[in-house]
Amino acid sequence: MTFRYDPFEQMNRLFEQTRQSVWDGVDTNVSVEQTDEGYVVMADLPGFEKEDIELQFDDGVLTIEGEVAVDETAGQATHRRRRTVHERLSIPGPVLVDDITASYHNGVLEVTLPTEEDAGDTHRIDID
């Protein structure tokens, strides 16, 4: 078995580490699936509490925002930094705004957006 060194893979890994250290962002690993009833959005948000996350649906766009303070201890020094997330997802079909649901368990946010033919308006979404 031969191992081939890939400098581009190492470069991508370094860029990603730099981006995370500079922006203190969170990689949300968001997925959107279309079902017979509408759309299901899944986002990995480890370390957040549901109270730290704000969801809003406005004019066909689902916005996921959150912020949490993280304390890191190394020896006797404690460092505090903020972790933030900001995702905006365009939902291609009309959505039944009053029937949008969201749940958050074990660091995974799941938002269900049922569709209909005529929908619209802004709606704040509570997380269960």
Q: Could you tell me the pLDDT band of residue 26, with boundaries at 50, 70 and 90?
A: low
Q: Among 62-71, 77-86, 89-98, 117-126, whose mean pLDDT is lowest?
A: 117-126
Residue partners of 29: CB distance under 8 A and separation at least 6: 43, 44
Please state, in angstroms and rounded to a whole number, the distance separating the CA atoms of residues 31 and 52.
20
What's the pTM value of the predicted model, to 2 decimals?
0.67
Is the pLDDT at 109 greater than 90, yes or no?
yes
Q: For the chain, which domains are there?
A: 27-125 (2.60.40.790)
Residue partners of 26: CB distance under 8 A and separation at least 6: 45, 47, 48, 66, 83, 84, 85
